[in-house]
Amino acid sequence: MTAVNPASDYSRREQITIIVSCMLGFALDLYDVLILPFIMGSIQKSLNISLTYVASITSVTLIGSVIGGAVFGAIGDKLGRKNALQLTLAVFAVGSIASAFSWNYWSLAALRFITGIGLGGEWGAGMVLFNEAWNKDRRGLGSAFIQGSAVLASASASIVGIWAITCFSQDWGWRVALLTGGSPIILMVFIRFFMPESKIWSEFDAKRRRGDVPVTIQRENTLIAMFRGPLFRISIISLIWMMAYMFFYYAIIVFLPTLMLKVMNTPPDVVRTTSVIVSIVGGITYITMGWLNDRLGRRFGALIPSTFWLISLGGIYLYSHHLYSGVLLAWPFLWIYILFAMGNTSLGVVGTWLSELYPVDVRATAVSTIYMAGRAVGSIAPVVVPMIAAYAGDNLVMGLMIALPAGLMFILCTLLLPETRGRDLAGTARVPVEAPGSSASSFAH
């Protein structure tokens, strides 16, 4: 297969449309998940359920995303990245709107599960399309901009979530917040008319239709193919790697608002301001790390931020009893939260690294499945943390410490994955060869 050069085969307008669409898609995806911690208290009181039950809503959403990742990943490999992205946005927008009209725990859980199925395909479809369309020497930075849109999601979730629960009644606040999750419908229309399909995928699909691609590749189930041959080891390590990241992330992020608002008795406006400041610092860190991992490698882009994670976890353990005293910059928890956000920027390298690890015929399936399988394991965290906290005498801080083994496992897997910086993404063969100028394995083209 002749390699496609993304830098020359896409117009500037097309590339801008792709990265903006991917940024907004990821931001809306994450917003829909991150707004839940801010409305957990309202849902708990409105539906008269326990903290464990309301926390499980996040778990159900993330479990649904695993199914969505596999389904929409396969659609992305068979029918195109753009078609998969449009479909996934439609499902999670409709699911989010419908969940606002839930009448009890079970209806909310079922509708959030459907929402999760839609959420599951968005990230993989958008991220794969972006990496296939972008200059290989600047994928890390571009990917960081997409992942950095998490700051928009985090800041928006805190602003809208607190606004909804303070400006509306107990029964309507959380419903209004969930209704805002229907906004991806607008993005879906924009993508339909303005965003191009991946030319790497289009070229592969044309060859597949002409019969120029081996029959085994044409007929093989892409979910099975990602575990065959030299991809088996890569897929296993990548799965553990992503599961470790997501468990650590959701074990902390879901309960930070509760820790600040309920345990530390922090005023809501201070929590909102803290979240916005943290989001801005996180965004700057995403971009900085993206620039660095294009120059120093994908492994660097995951390892350095993860050290901030471990420091922030130690800070939570040591300083969570230091309550807000009226001076934000003198409040230790602000800096702990900032370190946690800087640690989250390990995610900035994930989309590019995973895309570079897999050939075009299974890329969308592998990237979506691995990412969403990670989210599935992450979904266990919101249930496990309260259980550990209850066992420790209702000590939420001790519950959060369950994240430590996951953080260490993430670092170990980062060291085991091959470096892929600068890899061409047009190949379909599965035979590992040495990448030019690198000791890491690549795929024959």
Write the pLDDT tens digit of every residue in 364-387: 889 888 988 887 888 788 889 989
Q: What is the structure's pLDDT at 436?
A: 37
Categorise residue 443: left if φ over 0, alpha if ψ from -120 to 50, beta otherwise: beta
Mean pLDDT of 152-177: 87
CATH 1.20.1250.20 fits 6-443, yes or no: yes
Task: Yes or no: say if 55 and 47 are a contact pair by the CB < 8 Å rule.
Answer: no
**Residue-wise pLDDT tens digits, 402-415:** 999 999 999 999 99
The secondary structure element, H or E, covering residue 30 is helix 12-47
**Residue-wise pLDDT tens digits, 183-229:** 877 887 778 777 888 888 888 888 878 877 666 666 677 888 889 88
Q: What is the structure's pLDDT at 308?
A: 94
Q: What is the structure's pLDDT at 218?
A: 61
Q: What angle do CA 260, 261, 266 make, to 5 degrees?
A: 75
DSSP 273-340: HHHHHHHHHHHHHHHHHHHHHHHH-HHHHHHHHHHHHHHHHHHHHHHTT----S-GGG-HHHHHHHHH
Q: Residue 434's beta-bridge partner residues?
A: 441
% pLDDT > 90, the chain: 27
pLDDT of 304 strictly over 90: yes
Mean pLDDT of 140-158: 82
Q: What is the structure's pLDDT at 438?
A: 42
Mean pLDDT of 24-29: 85
Q: What is the structure's pLDDT at 377?
A: 87
Q: What is the structure's pLDDT at 6?
A: 52
Mean pLDDT of 282-303: 90
Distance CA 123, CA 27 (A): 10
pLDDT of 2 strictly over 50: no
Q: What is the structure's pLDDT at 3?
A: 47
Per-position b or e across 104-125, b if 16+ CB within 10 A of its CB: ebeebbbbbbbbbbbbbbbbbb
